[in-house]
Structure 1
Amino acid sequence: MNKLHDWLDRLSLYLPVLLMGLLALATYWLVRSTPGLEHKAPAAVVKHLPDYFIHQFSIKTFDTRGQLKSEVMGREGRHFPDTDTLEIDQVHIRSFNIEGLLSTATARQALINSDASEVQLIGQALVERKAGIDKSGKEKADLTFRGEFLHAFMNTDRIKSHKPVELIRGPDRFTANSMDYDNREGVMLLTGRVRGHLAPTKKP
């Protein structure tokens, strides 16, 4: 009887250790048996595909006073939702700059952002500003830009190009490999191979 009592005493001492071991084994088994968390599938890549087309169209924008600010016309247009841009074939643009003078632009293709503040003219790009009197009463000569690429910033009245351009201002003519023209400041930066022809001014 004493031996049985001693054996039960020893068993009671090791019982917590045995229970802890069994609990650890059960936990390990549950971890191995539980399926892992499903990995979220990567977001689908948005493809550069048009979501709508327009043909033989005209889009007009107006200022806060209701005056015509610009008109964009094209043979065909495609809107791309991933970049929120409008790609236009055979584009023709009429716009009034901050001086109130009319400018026109044409190209084989144009890329216009969502608010029409930037216009990229691609292929036989031509921008012309007609001569006239600006809002301050100052006379402005004809101004023409030609090139395979012209980037117009409508809100800041600026035209840039990283490709060869030709500039004609009245009787004067310039060519360069790249250009940055700021109409507000009246500053033009021509870089690369710059050539110019300045016509003699007429005596008053």
Structure 2
Amino acid sequence: MRLRQAWERLSLYLPVLLMGLLALSTWWLVRNAPTPVQPAAERPVAHEPDYYMRDFSVKTFDAAGRLASEVRGTLAQHYPDTDTLEIDQARMRSVSATGQVTTASALRAVSNADGSEVQLFGQARVVREPVARTGAAPTPQLEFAGEFLHAWTRDERVRSNQPVTLRRGGDVFTADSLDYDHLSQVLQLQGRVHGTLQPAPARR
């Protein structure tokens, strides 16, 4: 009888004990469970080169195997964050589909991935060589020179927000800034503009 009475008393408190054990075990599991791994914060891409070339020359050719462009320099560094190529002692040469040759040089150049946009710094120079024309005099050489030139090779455009010198044959112009669009044949010179025009050769 005593055993039965003890069991009946224990059975009254058994649910409470089980609930307490369950709560205790849950608290222990939560306390000792490993914390979830926090996702690492994305690190900003540093402006550091991922590859470089020294004393290099890179040439590209068109579908017919003709030389389309050549880039040379003492050091080239590629920056993945901007996808640009920085070149020291840059020397560039391009040939259009019509055979027009354009050369460029500078102490330093910054080019985008496909070479369609180039910024030239320090002793910058862009030259369009003369082009022979059937039954007419060749087009005169066109030269841009300054400490900074911004060129778009596909659009055949040259800009500068710094003093620049333009030579076309024997004619010479200087200005504080320049915007030249070869395709539309529009030249804009701003600031202190000076020009020297040579007389046209006498016809025989």
Same fold (TM over 0.5): yes
| Paired position in structure 2 for 1:55 | 54
| Paired position in structure 2 for 1:13 | none
Q: Let me know the Cα RMSD of the aligned residues.
A: 2.5
- What is the CA–CA distance in structure 1 between the aligned matches of 2:141 and 2:159, rounded to whole Å? 18
Gaps of 5+ in 1: 1-25
| Paired position in structure 2 for 1:195 | 194
What are the within-5 Å matches in structure 2 for residues 34-53 of structure 1?
A: 40-53=39-52
Aligned length: 175
| Paired position in structure 2 for 1:69 | 68
What are the within-5 Å matches in structure 2 for residues 1-204 of structure 1?
A: 40-97=39-96, 99-133=98-132, 139-204=138-203
Gaps of 5+ in 2: 1-22
Q: Deviations over 1:77-124 (max 9, x none)?
A: 111111111100001111123542212111000011101111111100
Q: 1:63 to 1:138 in 2, by over 3 A?
A: farther
- What is the CA–CA distance in structure 1 between the aligned matches of 2:135 and 2:56, rounded to whole Å? 35
Residues 37-46 or 126-135, more deviating = 37-46
For 1:55, the aligned partner's letter is R
- What is the CA–CA distance in structure 2 between the aligned matches of 1:136 and 1:73, rounded to whole Å? 36
Asked whether the equivalents of residues 142 and 169 of structure 1 are also in contact (C-alpha less than 8 Å), the reply is yes
For 2:56, the aligned partner's letter is F
Q: 1:133 to 1:46 in 2, by over 3 A?
A: same
Cα shift at 1:126: 0.8
- What is the CA–CA distance in structure 2 between the aligned matches of 1:51 and 1:39, rounded to whole Å? 29
Q: Deviations over 1:40-76 (max 9, x none)?
A: 4431011000011101101112223332111000011
For 1:183, the aligned partner's letter is H
DSSP 3-state at the match of 2:184: coil
TM-score of the aligned structures, taking structure 1 as reference length? 0.77
For 1:132, the aligned partner's letter is V
